[in-house]
Structure 1
């Protein structure tokens, strides 16, 4: 089998997960080129692989690339994905799929027009505990799932935003704690539950970060079409990155995740599902998990076998729609039903998020 020729655009912090995965995928792929607007950063990423490097997408056009990975600021996902597909490359982009639902729709249209596959990274779906609990939920082990909850309390001090012109902005990041950090919790709840959303009632706030314009705290009540009520709380104003907590309560028992350790309780018996051990890498935070490798392999196999991409643009859009729905509900001050029209509300976001007190993190 001919190996896939792959490239990476964006050699920032998240690229450490790709540096870990690429050597372990050498049986089906060959990493060919790294791209970053900072040439030294691209050169440093490419060096261990003996790969080429450059500063723009055009530097890939003469290298016969099969698939490109996008690790870029959120607002660049849509234009870069569309350009890459039009240039003949399959695309796997980091989350979120885009900043707006309209951009996600344009990406889907480009994928269909060019015949190129488009995937979205939600690597936490690939954790062993997520897969096992999802199967148990789908098999009815816990009976009907009545409710779910997720709690994220992380720390994003001002140093996280300094020197970056896109984080903490509505137009380039698309929001704050919801679209950047809590989106993985939202995606896992939706994926494990296996149902679309009926309505959302949410509220966003900026309590502590007076140098950014997006939310640092959010809460929402979300009703899925199967009747499950999902309660969400997320803040990046805590003093540390505490373990994420997800839980499903069913008629016969409960299950969930404490970071990447799964648990379930049935008939009075409590069991834990330990994560699959993986080699340590100091450049990969624990809360990222080791799912990038598994999702990249899955994506590559879909290209080799011409099968559907597991987490495609449609899947990415569904999770984005929940995030944007929370924003829209907060701005409207009411419960909204899905689907909804979100055209033009970015400007309202900027005006509507209350200014925090001057006390700084």
Structure 2
């Protein structure tokens, strides 16, 4: 195979973004050959703007056409696992948009289907291609920071107005989207939170606020506390109604602290480990010698194009995936635990009780109401340049 032929399932905001990248010729070894969408309005848009690309009403017809080797799943969140499972069953390579799904139980079934298919499976975690977070992961994995002791992430620069939430009747509803900031905006950070440090929490206590300053039914303001097996702790704070917002990640270890903010990394490195200093220190107010190091820029993040190129190369050349699809369950499990902790008003242990989470989610779905506004079929792709 010299060219990987892509078909896109869903031509909404993200689907059209992928289509434009593929149509531009920016991805070596890739070509867009087909798209599909259940809404006629979006199919009409595709026929007009995606010249010489086959347009189908559903994914089964597109896959059966023989025109595609791989699919990009860019549908609403609940449909990611079912579309992926169907594609694996028909011999397709699959790249899914984030989140992997809405609840871990359905994503686990998708992972099992991927393993049985022996096809490439990736997820669009385009922040894993960000050199800043790759460098953080490298410094931690090499032992440069020492054993992790604490993480703090304040990610409140996800500002979303009421107009945004009103742009689709499915938005910010339990039945349509399956959650709010944790499931829509923050999957990238929840993934990076565990990927960079190489640890998943063992228990979580979260406080989600639903519809804070906005007329929505899902969470848009979250403060969560996590504990890890080695005794480390973590705090994760996010919101969509703060202006101006903050994006600041701190990771403290036995050998110092790393801070990422405003696209810059600073490493406060201890000359010796805190443990070693504490053992030998005799001065009541002594502190370890510390050097402030400004880590040089590692370059720009290729974002979606980087993920598409990596996935294409994985299929055609066998290169390792930057974001294996099976790992989508990790960040999702953290968000599921945060929801469940709030719903039950208590601690949630990991591994997650997936059955209990699904049952509690279904209670919210049963009471969910879609807002009355313009139908989804009428909405056209939006400009996503201001978001991840």
Do the two structures share a fold, i.e. TM-score over 0.5?
yes
Q: Show structure 1 runs of 5+ residues with no match.
A: 278-288, 354-361
1:157 maps to 161
1:54 deviation in Å? 2.8
Change (3 A) 1:20 1:254: farther
1:235 deviation in Å? 0.6
User: C-alpha separation between the residues in 2 aligned to 1:215 and 1:308?
Assistant: 35
- The TM-score normalised by the length of structure 1 is 0.86
Does 254-263 or 78-87 show the bigger shift?
A: 254-263
SS at match of 1:14: helix
2:215 maps to 211
User: C-alpha separation between the residues in 2 aligned to 1:300 and 1:18?
Assistant: 13
1:228 deviation in Å? 2.4
User: C-alpha separation between the residues in 1 aligned to 2:229 and 2:325?
Assistant: 21
Q: Does structure 2 retain, via aligned residues, the 8 Å contact 1:69–1:93?
A: yes
Q: Deviations over 1:101-120 (max 9, x none)?
A: 11102212222333333221
User: C-alpha separation between the residues in 2 aligned to 1:324 and 1:273?
Assistant: 36
1:211 deviation in Å? 2.8
Asked if residue 269 in structure 1 is aligned to residue 272 in structure 2, the reply is no
User: C-alpha separation between the residues in 1 aligned to 2:9 and 2:263?
Assistant: 28
Q: Does structure 2 retain, via aligned residues, the 8 Å contact 1:98–1:104?
A: yes
Does 206-215 or 324-333 show the bigger shift?
A: 206-215
Q: Show structure 2 runs of 5+ residues with no match.
A: 270-289, 369-388
Match of 1:185 among 180, 186, 189: 189
Q: Does structure 2 retain, via aligned residues, the 8 Å contact 1:197–1:225?
A: yes
Q: Does structure 2 retain, via aligned residues, the 8 Å contact 1:147–1:230?
A: yes
Aligned counterparts, 1:1-361, within 5 A:
2-15=2-15, 17-19=17-19, 21-22=21-22, 23-36=24-37, 37=39, 38-47=42-51, 50-57=52-59, 58-153=61-156, 154-240=158-244, 242-266=245-269, 267-274=290-297, 276-277=299-300, 290-306=302-318, 309-341=321-353, 342-349=357-364
User: C-alpha separation between the residues in 2 aligned to 1:115 and 1:141?
Assistant: 36
1:19 deviation in Å? 4.3
User: C-alpha separation between the residues in 2 aligned to 1:136 and 1:111?
Assistant: 31
Aligned structure 1 segments of 4 or more residues deviating by more than 6 angstroms: 350-353
Change (3 A) 1:243 1:34: farther
1:224 deviation in Å? 2.5
Q: Does structure 2 retain, via aligned residues, the 8 Å contact 1:260–1:275?
A: no
Q: Does structure 2 retain, via aligned residues, the 8 Å contact 1:331–1:349?
A: no
- The TM-score normalised by the length of structure 2 is 0.80
| C-alpha RMSD of matched pairs (Å) | 2.4
1:68 deviation in Å? 0.7
Q: Does structure 2 retain, via aligned residues, the 8 Å contact 1:195–1:226?
A: no
Rg comparison, structure with higher value: 2
